[in-house]
Structures are given as structure tokens and as C-alpha cells.
Structure 1
Amino acid sequence: MKCFFHDTVKIPVGKVTLEGAFTLPQGAESIVVFCHASSRSRFSRRYQKIAQELQQLGYGTLLLDLLTEQEDAAYYYTRCDIELLTRRLTGVTEWLEGYAPAAHLGIGYLAAGTGAAAALRAAYYLPNVLAVVCHGGRPDMAGDILPKVDTPVLLIAGDLDHDILEHNLFAMEELQCRKKLVEIKGAGQLFLENNAMARVVGSAISWFNQYLKAARHHAL
């Protein structure tokens, strides 16, 4: 039976303090940071379930919200402020490297929505980020950074969400790193149809196993 370390962390970034749910299985060598432009996603049962699946495979997880409750409630446009979200994510990642339980861990990002663009930009600025997975996201909003990203990137989109799929196809063309686009058949942006989310999670785990866990083992 696995032993887990749990902590609700408060992370100072600039003028705000962000909250996250940190979980670390005993013996973990890597952590997946969940990147969402909201203030409540860490309470989502769906994301908690994904985190639990990763934890059972030996990954640490940080369920993170990139916005405060006040920002999320009062300013819808902050969800599309990619520079703000990127600063928050890079600040959190740098904090994580100095947080004793996580200082030795390889880092990956699991991002959705506009958090996908922030994850790609942060990965460009932080070479210690080893893998990025974006599902139902807007990686195209990372802009001119896309061709400069070196981190392996997996893009996942439902084929029924035509706009998101087009945005991911564009990002796929721009990215010059190790990359892959997975189209989930019969799924919309939230992957609620049939077992679509299970396919998203399976694809993400395969990517993290290949590029996060494997890279961490190689480094060790």
C-alpha cells in the first residue's frame, strides 16, 4: 500500500497568494502540476480523480489554480491574460523547486483551456520542465513562443469541438519540438462523452511515462 504526503500549500507569487493541493507518493521522482485559469479547479472531482490515477502510478501532483477567487469572479478577461498566467505558473514552479518535499522532483504540466498557453510559455522559460500535456486547451495562444519550445508536448482535442481542434492543429504546425496530437473521436471540449476522459488520461499517462518519468530516470 502506497504512503502519501498531503499538504494544502499557499504559494506567494507577486502580490497574490495562490492555493494548491499537493500530494506526494512515497518514492516519487516526478510531479505533475495541473494548470488551469480558474480559482476552483482543484476542487473538481474530475481533476481529483485524474490526480489520484497519477498518484497510484507514483507521480506527485499539484492541483493548482492560477487565479484567486476575486480575480476569477470579477474579471473574466484574466482567464485570457496569458502573460499573467505565465508569470503565475513560472512563479509556482520556482517555488516548488524550493519546497523541500518537492525540490528533487522532475516537473511536468497538465494543462487545459488558456492554461495550455501558459504551460507552453512557462516550459520555454524553465528548461527543467520535462513534459507538457494540453487537453481541450488553447496552445495557439502561446503565440511566437511555440516554435521555440523544446519540451516534449502532447496536444489532445475532441474531434467534435471544431474550434479547439483547429487551434490545436495550428499549434501542432508551429511547434518544432517532440510533439503529438491526439484526436479523441466523438468527444467535445470537456471530454464528457462515453469514456473520452479515460482516453485523455491514458494518453497523458503514456506521455508522462515516456518523457517525464523516463527523462527523470535518465537524469538520475
Structure 2
Amino acid sequence: MTDLHVHIQTPGLEGLLGACPSPKGLIIFAHGSGSSRFSPRNNFVAAGLRQAGFATLLPDLLKPEEEMTRAKVFDIPLLASRLTDVIRWARSHKELARLPIGLFGASTGAGAALVSAADPEMAGMEIFAVVSRGGRPDLAGAALAQVRSPTLLIVGSLDTEVIELNRYALSKLSAIKEISIVPGATHLFEEPGTLDQVLHLAAGWFTRHVPARADLGDIA
């Protein structure tokens, strides 16, 4: 099924919404390091998650004029605020409002996802699970201790510096948590088969933690 282009009016972001039959949840992606809704790696994971029964939403958290500004790429409060706006949009969208929401973050987007999940203003919009791929969850800082969503950190075995940053973040999380090291993978998981392992781990984590719900019907 072709992804549907959506416009998130506040704060003026573009996104790709992917549907599947009778979705059991909605996974919202938080891209990082200047990536966008067209990220081939995140789109690969999104396609697999749809096969696993989840609708997906890949929004741009930065506007085109902001993507070339390095400071914006690492502005975790800004990225988290934008992600929270996307979650509110999904909650107000009649065909998405009923779906439990999970977050999939990559690079700096992982830090933003955890800050958003910990946001006290998210009451009533709880995130059922968070997955980080090659992420910088450490950038969530003090918010890590406030996260209540089960969190999976996925890191490549050859991404040694990021492994240590993820282990540090793991020690600060008080929610259900786990770290998975993918053998032979570097930061971008470009090695054959490594992204398939990311998809397998992510789909399993989201499926394990999604709230049990009655049949929710299709997204038109």
C-alpha cells in the first residue's frame, strides 16, 4: 500500500502515514541527524512493522530550512516538542485516535522520543513502548528517570562509542528496559541482514507491549 502524505498543521510538518488492515497500534518515527520521512532505513523498518500489524507515521521533525542547521539537529527540546505535537495530531485524527502509540527513534530522534514519552503534559496520551535504533538516548538527560514506557535500545556491535552511551542511558531508565547488540552492525546498520534484525527486535518489542484491544477496524 502506498504511504499517504499528511500535513500536520501545527507546527507545519509533513509526514508519511502507512496503513495496514486492523492495526493494533500506531508507531510514530522520530528521525535524527538531519534525516527525514524519506529515510530508507526507517522506511524499511516501517514497512516491516506494517506487516506485523502496526500503522506507521514518519514525520519530518524539522522544516526544510532547518535541516541544514547543525544546532537544530541536536536541539532535543525542539525535536521532542515537535514530536509531542505530532502525537497530539494523531490523537485528534479520528481514524488514529483509537490506536495505542509507540515511538521508534533513531540517532538524536531517540533522545527526543524519550523526552516526549516522559513529558508530564502527555497525560492521557501515554506511549506504550519506545524503541531506539543506533540512537542517542543519553541526550534525554534527566528525562530518562521519568520515562514509564518499556524501552528497547538497539545498537550495532561495531558502534562502540554509542554502545557505551546507550548503556549509560539504560542505567538511568527506571521503566522496563532492555539493550540488544546486533552483531557485525555499525552505526547505520548498513551491513547485510543487520536491519532485518532491527526490524525483528522492534516488531517483537512493540507486539509484546501493545495493550490488548478489541478489533479496531481499518484505517481508510
**Same fold, judged at TM 0.5 (above):** yes
Give the 4+ runs in structure 1 shifted more than 4 A.
none
CA–CA distance in 1 between the matches of 2:33 and 2:55? Answer: 21
Q: Report the counterpart of residue 114 of structure 1 in structure 2.
A: 108
1:38, 1:68 within 8 Å by CA — same for their partners in 2?
no
2:8 maps to 11
Matched, 1:161 2:155: no
In structure 1, stretches of 5+ residues that fail to align are: none
Deviations 1:6-41 (A, max 9, x none): 521111234xx1110002213113111111136653
Q: Deviations over 1:158-190 (max 9, x none)?
A: 121111111100001000110000011111111
Q: Pick from 160, 175, 178: which aligns with 1:177?
A: 175
2:91 equivalent to 1:97: yes
Give the Å deviation of 1:48: 2.0
The answer as to whether partners of 2:184 and 2:191 remain within 8 angstroms in 1 is yes
Q: How far apart are the structure 1 equivalents of 2:32 and 2:10?
A: 15
- Name the amino acid aligned to 1:147: A
Could you state the TM-score of these two structures normalised by the residue count of structure 1? 0.90
Match of 2:52 among 52, 57, 62: 57
User: Which residue in the other structure is 2:134 paired with?
Assistant: 136
Task: Report how many aligned residue pairs link the two structures.
Answer: 212
**Structure with the higher helix share, 1 or 2:** 1
Shift of 1:42: 1.7
Identity %: 37
User: Quick check: which one's strand share is greater?
Assistant: 1
Q: RMSD between aligned alpha carbons? A: 1.9
Residue 80 of structure 1, CA deviation? 0.5
* Aligned CA distance change for structure 1 residues 35 and 191 (closer, same or farther; 3 Å): same
> Counterparts of 1:188-203 in structure 2 under 5 Å?
188-203=186-201
Distance in 2 (CA, whole Å) between partners of 1:63 and 1:139 is 19
Residue 82 of structure 2 aligns with which residue? 88
Q: Deviations over 1:125-152 (max 9, x none)?
A: 2352100000101000000011111100
**Per-residue CA distance 1:53-99 (angstroms, 9 max, x = gap):** 111222100011110111002x1110100110010000110011001
In 2, are the aligned partners of 1:135 and 1:200 still within 8 Å (CA)? yes
Letter in 2 for 1:145: A
Structure 1 contact 5–25 (Cα < 8 Å) conserved:
no
Given that 2:33 and 2:108 are in contact with CA atoms closer than 8 Å, whether structure 1 keeps it comes out as: no
Distance 1:169 1:40 in 2: 24
One-letter code aligned to 2:6:
V
1:47 to partner: Cα distance? 2.2
1:124 matches 2:118: yes
The one of the two structures with greater contact order (alpha-carbon pairs below 8 A, sep at least 6) is 2
TM-score (norm 2): 0.90
Structure 1 residue 77 corresponds to structure 2 residue 71: yes
Matched residue of 2:67: which SS?
A: helix
Corresponding position of 2:61: 66
2-structure distance, mates of 1:26, 1:99:
18
Aligned AA for 1:8?
H
